Amino acid sequence: MRYSVAVKTAPAAEPLTLVEAKLHLRVDADDEDSLITALITAARQWAENYCRRSFVRRTLELRMDCFPAEIRLPRGPVSEVTSITYTDQDGAAATLGAGRYQVDLYGIPPRIVPVFGAVWPVPKYGALNAVVVEYVAGFAPGAASPTDHAENVPGPIKAAMLLIVGHLFRNREQVSAVALQEAPFAAKMLLAPYEIRDFTLES
């Protein structure tokens, strides 16, 4: 079944700070702060794509042409399903009540199925992207500080990101795609326990 995943609300922060990255790079001057900040984002995006996960919280939209028997949510971990909407037989947008489905946030991947005795509604025939699931993905910010987006990101992931930042910083003159294809082996090993190998969840 065809589907797509889009970011509705982007992450508010990165799991690495500029100070952490500069300490790792042993850079004291401020003249390359903009470059290092961009490399932090690039490292996070590469690592997320490598693992097929979301590391920092953002709102995603999963779009499908129809309801599958089981909705599987890519790019977890998922903390909340915000809404499920669909195009009804009249072509209007309709919201599926939360009491009509159940959510498994613990599974890999997280999944949504109808409650016992219920079935999915039938969207308008021929309507593309007729079903939209909005959900919150990424490791939750710190409980004590809601703005701390790094607190619950596992240490090995942040360590891998630092290695990637260092690799990109040292190889800045290379074409970015080539540089990322040659990401440090140690970074891949650190990310391996968090990699989702289900290729059907590619977004």
Q: Does any domain span residue 35?
A: yes
Same domain (yes/no): 51, 70: no
Same domain (yes/no): 109, 92: yes
Among residues 137, 164, 182, the one where a domain terminates is: 137
Same domain (yes/no): 40, 75: no
Q: What is the pLDDT of residue 174?
A: 62
CA–CA separation, 58 and 42 (whole Å): 16
Q: Does any domain span residue 164?
A: yes
Q: How many CA atoms lie less than 13 Å away from 35 in the CB half-sphere? A: 15
Number of domains in the chain: 2
Same domain (yes/no): 132, 62: yes
Neighbours of 8 (CB within 10 A): 13
Q: What is the pLDDT of residue 138?
A: 94
Same domain (yes/no): 128, 69: yes
CATH number of the domain at 168, please: 1.10.3230.30
CA–CA separation, 15 and 57 (whole Å): 10
Q: Does any domain span residue 185?
A: yes
Same domain (yes/no): 49, 62: no
Q: Does any domain span residue 3?
A: no
Q: Does any domain span residue 73?
A: yes
Q: Does any domain span residue 158?
A: yes
Q: Does any domain span residue 153?
A: yes
Read off the pTM: 0.86
Same domain (yes/no): 130, 103: yes
Q: Does any domain span residue 5?
A: no
Same domain (yes/no): 51, 150: yes
Joined together, the tokens standing for residue 16 give 């690495």
The pLDDT profile of the chain, 203 residues, written as one tens digit per residue, is 678 999 999 998 899 999 999 999 999 989 999 999 999 999 999 999 999 999 999 999 999 999 999 999 999 899 999 999 999 999 999 999 999 999 999 988 899 999 999 999 999 998 899 999 999 999 988 777 777 778 889 999 999 999 999 998 988 766 455 555 566 888 999 999 999 876 565 54
Same domain (yes/no): 92, 71: yes
Among residues 118, 137, 156, the one where a domain terminates is: 137
Do 150 and 19 contact (CB within 8 A), yes or no?
no
Q: What is the pLDDT of residue 203?
A: 42
Per-position DSSP letters for the chain, written without gaps between them: --EEEEEEE--SS-SS-HHHHHHHHT---STTHHHHHHHHHHHHHHHHHHHTS--B-EEEEEEESS--SSEE-SS--EEEEEEEEEE-TTS-EEE--GGGEEEESSSSS-EEEEPTT-----PPTT-TT-EEEEEEESBPPPSS-TT-SSTTS-HHHHHHHHHHHHHHHHTTTS-HHHHHHT--HHHHHHHGGG----GGG--
Same domain (yes/no): 51, 63: no
Strand ranges across the sheet with 71-72: 71-72, 111-114, 101-104
Same domain (yes/no): 85, 131: yes
| Containing structural domain, residue 47 | 15-55+146-197
Same domain (yes/no): 157, 116: no
CA–CA separation, 139 and 53 (whole Å): 10
Q: What is the pLDDT of residue 178?
A: 53
